[in-house]
Chain A
Amino acid sequence: MSLLEVENLRITFPTRTGPAEVVRGVNFTLGHERLAIVGESGSGKSQTGRAILGLTPQPGQATADRLSFDGTDLRSLSARNWRRLRGTRMSMVMQDPKFSLNPVMPVGKQLMEPLTTHGTPKREAKRRALEMLEAVQMRDPERVFRAYPHELSGGMGQRAMIAMMLVSEPDLLIADEPTSALDVTIQIEVLRILDRLVADRGMGLIFISHDLRLVSSFCDRVLVMYAGRVVEELNAADLHKAQHPYTQGLLNCLPQIDEDRHPLPTLDRDAAWAG
């Protein structure tokens, strides 16, 4: 059985000129695998990720014909049941640690929070928090444990946040551009941590990214979103065989170390793609 099933997901925001639909009928299922959702700004990829966790920002409205996680219908979940799922069985890594970590709480305490809230004893929570900081390649986990977010660099903050989301060992992780703010060399270390969790523990991963080249080397499957719709679904290894002109255009317009194409091909958007 799949871990997550999404059918006809729609997200609407009211605007002065009437409702604007930013996600328009997205369908997919997720097993214990690495699924990428790729698209440019405004394609609806982040909103799709947030809606799965019931985090569509007000006054937005998310509706779906089916939205189920491990057999639980997420559409009619009470606030209390949401709290039981979020942070323990499913969690989300956001793009920017500056806005997602609590600035007035030490990192260690934030790491222990999802565990103690759900009943883990403090000593056990601390041990697991330190273990997780080590797992995300922090050089001095004890120092990071006591540090406040402003005392960490951007890359360390990002890894602290990833540690926070993984400490409860979720079954589903939604990672929204988790490595875009990181240097390439650290980025690969962080991806290896995620990779290990999928391989060893059978975690399901939704990896939201704008970076086609990265997801083609890291993920199993790729959904390409444009204007609120999935325009193409591919095996990551077959990305170069993409059929849709948007996917092809997106791949073509990236500069390559080995290619001399001046000027670079640009993307001519066809109104029909948004259809």
Chain B
Amino acid sequence: MLKIENLEVSFDNGETVVNAVRGVSFDVKQGESYGIVGESGSGKSTVLRAICGMAPTTGGRILLDGKPLPDPRTPDFYRRVQMVFQDPYASLHPRHTIDSVLSEPLSIQRFDRRDQRIAQALDDVGLGQGFRFRYPHQLSGGQRQRVAVARALILEPQIILLDEPTSALDASIQAEVLNLLERLRSERGLTYVMVSHDLAVISHMCERLLVMEQGLAVEELTRADLRARRARTDYTTKLLKASAGYTATE
């Protein structure tokens, strides 16, 4: 459904060029949940941003249903592909009510029955109508991330790109948001591409995953590979070991 071929992203500020993504390829099937794991600076978030047209693509192709994506992305693309960002404190406009956060994409995409759709979206993410006319500062981190998920869902997209959707949340809230994302995926047959630094979260959510390091794809694993610790590269082995907890020696 979504195919990335040799994607390259570089940021050029006139003096220095940073090659954030250096030739990454992967393929996401319809209804699949695909994970990207890496440490900071690995380029994992940049891949998501490039899919959305939010990062300067300098090489390679991104295909949706076999067709290269137009640049800039069209409203029709955003109808089908939506993104949820890491920090629910930064991604909601502080002076817009939840109602206006949710109605903006509807009016851009000229959806009808906006009122019912907003009510439905809030119910779907388990918030309910009481939250509709509140401001983000009146919500907890978990509630805000639910609003961010509602905003992505309200356009009934097919693909959702999730950039560390739970890393800013407490463990108990993380569990609630992960459960919500899983339920919505199975109810609506959504396709996810999920970025995280947490191997356990990716193993819980994704059938396949790509390990990235310094802009390169290190290796692709299935969930079964991950559980059997069948890593082919030293880097992935090191990540797996580190995520098991503290060890006093190498």
State the A residues within 8 Å of B (CB): 40-41, 153-155, 183-185, 187-188, 191-192, 195, 210, 212-214, 216-218, 249-250, 253-259, 261-267
Contact = CB atoms under 8 A, between A and B. Distances in A.
Nearest to A182: B40
A250 B246 contact: no
A183 B200 contact: no
Contacts of B243: 184, 257
B67 interface: no
Contacts of A249: 172
B245 A217 contact: yes
B171 A250 contact: yes
B41 A153 contact: yes
B40 A255 contact: no
Given A216-B245, A257-B243, A265 B175 contact: yes
Contacts of A154: 40
Nearest to A155: B40
Contacts of B144: none
6 contacts: A40-B170, A153-B40, A213-B245, A217-B245, A218-B246, A253-B172
B178 A264 contact: yes
A255 B178 contact: yes
A192 B248 contact: yes
Q: How large is the interface on B (under 10, 10 to 19, 20 to 34, 35 or more residues)?
A: 20 to 34
Contacts of A40: 170-172
A211 B174 CA distance: 13
Given A258-B227, A263-B179, A218 B245 contact: yes
A183 B141 CA distance: 22
B235 to A, nearest CB: 9
B183 interface: yes
A254 B242 contact: no
A11 B12 CA distance: 50
A184 B172 contact: no
B248 A210 contact: no
Contacts of A262: 182, 204
A3 to B, nearest CB: 22
Contact of A184 (B39, B176, B179): B39
A261 B174 CA distance: 14
Contacts of B197: 183-184
A2 to B, nearest CB: 24
Given A257-B243, A261-B204, A265-B175, 14 more contacts: A153-B40, A153-B41, A183-B197, A185-B238, A188-B247, A210-B170, A217-B246, A217-B247, A253-B172, A255-B201, A256-B204, A264-B175, A264-B204, A267-B175
